[in-house]
Structures are given as C-alpha cells and as structure tokens.
Structure 1
C-alpha cells in the first residue's frame, strides 16, 4: 500500500485529502496529513470574523471531524529530504520525529510578507489566521472602551487611531469591516463620536485593489472616503516604534492598532528546508500537471498546489505567468491534484491545470461590496450579497455552511455582536493574582534577646498586672 504524505492542512491540503478519501479504493493507499494546527481556516471569512459578523469557530474546518480515513499528525515539518523519502517533524511537546513516505504532496500555504521596518515586528499584527482576526477585534473594542473613560487628548486619540498597511483584497476587506464594526459600536458610547476615530490605509503603489479595473478601484476609494477613511497612496511606512507611525511623506502620528496586510510569501519554514527545487521567490517549482519540477525535469512522486507553489497559468491571466495565490485557485488545484494522484497510481496520465479567474469579489463592510469579472462590475448591496453567497457555497462541508448561515440570520434580527473578550493573551493572569493572596506570607525573623537585656514593652502588659512571673515577662518581650 502506497504511503501518501500531505504537508499542510489549508485549502489545498485539506481538499486533496478530502477528495482522496472519495477517490481511493480500500487498501490502495494510506494518506497522512501533517499540519501545526488541527483545523483549516477559511481565510475569506477572516474580515467578517474580525468585524463580529461570523463566530470565529465557524470559519475553521476541524480536520478530524471531516477527514474520516486520513491519518492526522499535529506537528511542524522542519525538513523534507525527498531523496530519502523522509520528513522531519517537530511535535507540539518539542520532540523530533521522522516520517517516511512514497508520495509527497507539499501544500504548506503562505506566510505574511514583512519588511525590516523599525517597530513593525513589535507593534503590528497580520490577518492570516483566525487568532489574529480575533485579536484585532478584541483590541479595537478594548481601545474604544478605554478611550470612553479618558478626557479628550493625545491618549484618547491614539486609542481610536487604526493603521492598515497594504491595499490589496485582504487589507481593503479587513479595513472596511473594522470600520463598520467601530461605527456600530460607537452608537453605544455617547462619550465618543465617529469624528474622533482615525482610520489610515497606507499603500505603496498608486492604486488599491490591483485585481480590479482602475475605475472600480477609484470607486472604492471614494466609498471609503465618504466613511471618513484616510487613504495614503504612493506612501510607505518608515517606522512604527512604540506605536509612533512615521510615513515616507513626512507625516507622523500615534496609533493604537497597526495591521499589516502587505502581501504573502511561500511558507519559508518549508521552502528553506528541503531538497525540492525552489525558485528565486522561494516558491516550489511546479509543472502544469501539478508535479514538482520543471517542464522537462519532473521530480518523481512529488506534487504541489496552493500558495507555496509556482504553478504556470495556462490561461495567460496570471501575474508573471503563474496562478495568483488565492483560495479560488488553491481549491481547484487540490481537486485536480487528487484526481491526478489517483490516476497515476493506477497507471494513468496526469491532467494539466487550467482555470480562468472567475473574477474578484470583496466586502467593504456590512451591506456594501464590490464585484468584477471582466467588464462586468457590481457595486454596493448586490455585490455584498454576491460575496456572501459565493463564499458560503465555497466553504467546505454542509456543517460549516449551516453554522455560518445561522450566524448571519441571528445577526440580521439581533444586530451585530460587539462583545469583546479581554485577557485572551494571558488568560491565567486573574487566577495567578487570586492565588497570590492565598500564599503564606514569610514570617518576620525571630530575634533572640539576651536574658540580661532590659526591655520596655509599651502597651503589652496592663499597668495593674505587676505580679507576673519571669517566664511570662519573657513571653511578653518576645
């Protein structure tokens, strides 16, 4: 029985394993999936998680619930030695372990791309996983609550200032949704006004949303401007030390929240620790049939898909000749990848990946969105409905679809949930504080007093008690 090892449980990895469970006959192959976390995050829903429109747990798909036949390992792959058909794993408890395989599938996804700008590593947070989305939401709500108790001034203004770096889809969607959350939340805070909040979007190029036409991009800019957003085009962040934002234009101001959405790179943990072929941008070199290797030099028993791979775009629509790193391509590549593995195991031929981009759709906040497919452009409420419709169909498993739909239905009648949770970074802090009160306090050191010493004890012995024994006097002295 062939051993198929899938590295990464995101879109591409999860869908590949899910489809292989349907395609493979009993005993035909053993499929193992390795990922540092036991779930797949449906990233297009992160902006709505950030805004409180979707419950955080509903935007993740638990591997063990839906992968019934796949062997699952929660671990980080630290090295792939394809020559020896071996991977080295780091388990959650720190132990090292090795796994062998016959066929490898590398679908490790992407990581946030950052630059060595002072203060970014210490102050910023991305929007790449569910934990980051929840942190941004709770931090914003906590800042609003704190600002309401402060008088107008620099500290209050800092708490109500938000900065996003990057004007791509991830940045624009998260920016618009967080703005909508703040607008809804401030209705419960008469001490604050929307005019006191400052939302800055920093984009290094001359436009936002490169996936849509320039005309559509300008419409989004005007829409955000009407919501009092401040857009800085052709501007770069130069420093964020101690929350002080400095821009290449010379502007500077304090911010209480810095969100980094300036692109992604292929997962460096994998691509820097393998003997598989890697291109100059750190992506695994792939063929059009999703095998690893060049057009004339395929690597035997090695496949890839998703954001960590440089897969040629046969439609001619890809950036630089390769498919763009998004969920639309990752899901479709994974479905073909599973079929290709099945067919080649049975002596068949692998098919080439060819998919023309269906278009781009984004939410800009509750009730507003934008959609473009070729010359067709839809704006406002219809585009927002299209966004939700597309993604509720795209998220895998009916169980998750119903949970998301039920949450939206509740929000329709009950309103947006603006409850923020505190202390998630250090949940044991309150318990540790309580436990500190029950610890025994150290006793004062006992001092030995010579018997010959004359000690006056003030208030210890009543004036009338003059008939005490020598032993009692010694006790009083101590």
Structure 2
C-alpha cells in the first residue's frame, strides 16, 4: 500500500484525512496524520470562546473520535527529506524516529505573525488557539474581581484596560466580543461603571476589516464608538514593556490584557524541509495543490491551507493567491484528497477554484455584519447569519449540536461568567495542606 503522511491536523489536515477515508478503497493506501494536539480547533469561534458565549471544548473536534481509519500520531514532524521521502517524527513522549512515505500532504497551518516591538513577546497573548481564548476570558473575569475591591486610580484602570492589536476580522471580532462581555459583567459589579472600562484597538492602516466595503467598516466603527470602545487608525504600537502601551500618536496608557491579532504567517516548521518555499515562507503549489519547483511538479508532495501559496484562479486573492482563511482551507483539503486519490489511480487532477462567498462577523451578542459583493447586512440579522453559518460550518454533527445547544441555554440562562484561572496551578490547593515528612 502507498503510505500517505499528513503533516498537521488543523482545518486542511483534518478534512484531507476525513475525505481520504471516504474516497480510498480498502487496502489502497495507509494514511498517517501527525499533530501535537488531539483535536482540530474551529478558529472562527475563538472570539466567542473568549467572551464566554461558547464552551471551549465545543469549539474543537476530536481527531480520534472522527478519524477511525487514520493512524494518528501525537507529535511533530520536525524534518522533511523529500528527496529520500523520509520525515522525522518527534512524538510528545519518546525518541524521534524516521518515517518513510510515498505521498506527503503538508498542512501545518499558520502562527501569529509578530514584529520586534519591545514588550510584545513578554506581555501580549495571541488568539490562534483554544488555550489562548480561554486564558483571555479568565484574565478579563479575574481582573473585574480584582478591580471591584480597588479604589479608582491607576491600578484599577490598568486592570480594566483591554488592548487589541490588529483591525482585521479576528481583531475586530475579538475586540467587539470582549467589549460585549465587559458590558454584561457590569450588572454584577455595582462598584464599577462603563466609564471605568477602557477598550482600545490599534490598527496601523487607515481602515478596519478590509474584507468588507468601506461603508460597512465605517458602520462597525460607529457601533463600537457607541459602545465605549476606541479604535486607533493609522496608529502603530511602539512599545508594550511592562504593560505600558506607547503609541505612535504619542498616547500612553497601561493595560493588563494585550491581545495580538495582527496577521499570520506560515508555520516556521516548513524551513526544516527540502520542499520549495516562496519568499513569504509558504509552500509553492500549483492550482491542483501539488507542490511545484522551477522544474515542475514535485512528485509525491502536496500542500493546502495557510502554509501554502495556492493560486486564486478567480483573480480575487491578494497577490494572486488564496487568502489564509477557513473557507479556503476546508475546500482546498477536499479537492486535495480527491486529486491525491486520482493520482494514485493514474487519473487526472482538477484545479482548485473557489470564489469567496462573502464575509460574516459577530460583534458581540445581537450585533454582526455580513458582506457579499455590494450586499451588506448589519446588526441583529447579520448576527443571526453569523451564528447560523458558523454553527453549521464547524465539522461533525455532534459538534454542531453542542454549539447550538450551548447558544440556546445561554439565551435562556445567560452567559456563564465564571473564571477557572486556577486550573493553571491545579495542585496548589492540595499542596497547601498536604502533610510532609518531618525533616
């Protein structure tokens, strides 16, 4: 049997494995997927997880529950020698070993793209994982508890100041969802008012959300301003040392919660391979998702998702390539699986082509925006569209049911605003009172 190795279990990796299980005949190929996590994270739900609108476990999909025919390895592919068709796999426990393959699918995804701004690496947190989203939620809830027992002053202001860097979809959704959460919390803290909370979004460009029209982005700015949330356009973050925010406009204030959402880049793990990489660090692939170099197709190598420079045949992509989002990653994976099976059977491949269906964003409970061409929907109807689309888009029906069920009970019972930050040190309670041998 042919051996197929899938590097990464995110959107593209999970869907490639799922569709290979569907299309491969019994005994036709052996599929192995390597990922350090046992689940796929549905990234569009991270802002709602951070705001407490979705249970964290409902925003992830278990690999082992839904990939019954795939060999799953918890670890990382730390080196790819495609000339020899050998990959080095480093499991979470045990020694690294070499794995020989016939076909390799590189779907390692992306990571947060940062800049060498003083303090960012030490003080900020990203929003690319479920763990980060939960940590953001717990931090904001804990800060409200702390601020409620403090008098008005710099220390309380710092605790109740939230800074989001980046005005793309991820940044705006995170910013608006956290503003919604903070506003809802105020009813439980009579010591605090909305004037005590300070929300700042920093965007280097002159506009937010480039995926929507300019009038729609202006509506979002107006809506955020009405909710006491400040957006700084044409502004760069210059320093965040010790939580002290220094902006290019000369403004300065302190924050205890700094969230970085200013773009992504292809996983740096691609550098440890002999596969062709373009100038932005992405895998070079052609429209049928096979890897290519200057001489043509690299046999036995495939790529999809955020780590690949996939040509956008519709002409709508930035620089001629598909933008890194879930809409493309899922569809690329499905096409890749079909093309890979076709190659194994000596058949021809089909090029990937998908025109963006539009963009939809949730901006807190009851508020959203939708844009498709010249059609724009704002407010409550767009929020319903956002939840409907993403609730159905998360893979597997058991996940969809859990998500919709959670939304329903939140509607009936309200948001569950309990922080579990002590989970970071679970043995603290036991250690405090445990008996120890006498010296």
Per the normalisation by structure 1, the TM-score is: 0.91
Could you tell me which residue of structure 2 aligns to residue 120 of structure 1? 120
* Residues in 2 aligned to 1:264 and 1:433: alpha-carbon distance in whole angstroms: 42
Residue 83 of structure 1 aligns to a residue in which SS? coil
Could you tell me which residue of structure 1 aligns to residue 207 of structure 2? 207
Residue 72 of structure 2 aligns to a residue in which SS? strand
- Give 1:272 deviation, angstroms: 1.1
Residue 422 of structure 2 aligns to a residue in which SS? coil
1:238 maps to 2:238: yes
1:366 maps to 2:365: yes
Could you tell me which residue of structure 2 aligns to residue 47 of structure 1? 47
Choose 58-67 or 387-396, whichever is displaced more: 387-396
Q: 1:219 to 1:295 in 2, by over 3 A?
A: farther
* Residues in 1 aligned to 2:197 and 2:365: alpha-carbon distance in whole angstroms: 18
Could you tell me which residue of structure 1 aligns to residue 164 of structure 2? 164
> Which structure 2 residue ranges, 5 or more long, are not aligned?
none
Residue 205 of structure 1 aligns to a residue in which SS? coil
1:266 maps to 2:234: no
- Give 1:428 deviation, angstroms: 2.1
* Residues in 1 aligned to 2:263 and 2:46: alpha-carbon distance in whole angstroms: 15
Could you tell me which residue of structure 2 aligns to residue 298 of structure 1? 297
> Could you give the per-residue CA deviations for residues 153-205 of structure 1, whole angstroms, max 9, x where no partner exists?
11111000000000000000011111111111111010111110000000001
Per the normalisation by structure 2, the TM-score is: 0.99
Residue 319 of structure 2 aligns to a residue in which SS? coil
* Residues in 2 aligned to 1:238 and 1:432: alpha-carbon distance in whole angstroms: 42
- Give 1:296 deviation, angstroms: 5.5
* Residues in 2 aligned to 1:221 and 1:407: alpha-carbon distance in whole angstroms: 29
* Residues in 2 aligned to 1:183 and 1:298: alpha-carbon distance in whole angstroms: 54
Could you tell me which residue of structure 2 aligns to residue 315 of structure 1? 314
Could you tell me which residue of structure 2 aligns to residue 434 of structure 1? 433
Contact residue 287 and residue 294 of structure 1 kept, 8 A: no
Contact residue 50 and residue 174 of structure 1 kept, 8 A: yes
Could you tell me which residue of structure 2 aligns to residue 38 of structure 1? 38
> Could you give the per-residue CA deviations for residues 29-53 of structure 1, whole angstroms, max 9, x where no partner exists?
0000000101000001111111111
> What's the C-alpha RMSD, in Å, of the aligned pairs?
1.0
Larger radius of gyration: 1
* Residues in 1 aligned to 2:277 and 2:88: alpha-carbon distance in whole angstroms: 19
* Residues in 2 aligned to 1:14 and 1:440: alpha-carbon distance in whole angstroms: 50
Residue 411 of structure 2 aligns to a residue in which SS? helix
* Residues in 1 aligned to 2:421 and 2:300: alpha-carbon distance in whole angstroms: 48
Contact residue 363 and residue 387 of structure 1 kept, 8 A: yes
Query: Where has structure 1 moved over 4 Å in runs of 4 or more?
Result: none
Could you tell me which residue of structure 1 aligns to residue 248 of structure 2? 248
Could you tell me which residue of structure 1 aligns to residue 399 of structure 2? 400
* Residues in 2 aligned to 1:261 and 1:319: alpha-carbon distance in whole angstroms: 19
Could you tell me which residue of structure 2 aligns to residue 417 of structure 1? 416
> Which structure 1 residue ranges, 5 or more long, are not aligned?
443-478
Contact residue 287 and residue 295 of structure 1 kept, 8 A: no
* Residues in 2 aligned to 1:86 and 1:279: alpha-carbon distance in whole angstroms: 22
Contact residue 35 and residue 75 of structure 1 kept, 8 A: yes
* Residues in 2 aligned to 1:296 and 1:378: alpha-carbon distance in whole angstroms: 47
Could you tell me which residue of structure 2 aligns to residue 87 of structure 1? 87
* Residues in 2 aligned to 1:441 and 1:247: alpha-carbon distance in whole angstroms: 55
- Give 1:74 deviation, angstroms: 0.4
Residue 125 of structure 1 aligns to a residue in which SS? coil
* Residues in 2 aligned to 1:150 and 1:392: alpha-carbon distance in whole angstroms: 40
> Could you give the per-residue CA deviations for residues 346-392 of structure 1, whole angstroms, max 9, x where no partner exists?
11011000000001000000110000000000000010011111111
* Residues in 1 aligned to 2:12 and 2:163: alpha-carbon distance in whole angstroms: 31
Contact residue 202 and residue 235 of structure 2 kept, 8 A: yes
- Give 1:424 deviation, angstroms: 2.5
Could you tell me which residue of structure 2 aligns to residue 445 of structure 1? none
Could you tell me which residue of structure 2 aligns to residue 285 of structure 1? 284
* Residues in 1 aligned to 2:306 and 2:428: alpha-carbon distance in whole angstroms: 38
Contact residue 75 and residue 92 of structure 2 kept, 8 A: yes
Contact residue 142 and residue 420 of structure 1 kept, 8 A: yes
> Could you give the per-residue CA deviations for residues 255-292 of structure 1, whole angstroms, max 9, x where no partner exists?
010000000000012x2111000001000001011000
* Residues in 2 aligned to 1:8 and 1:93: alpha-carbon distance in whole angstroms: 18
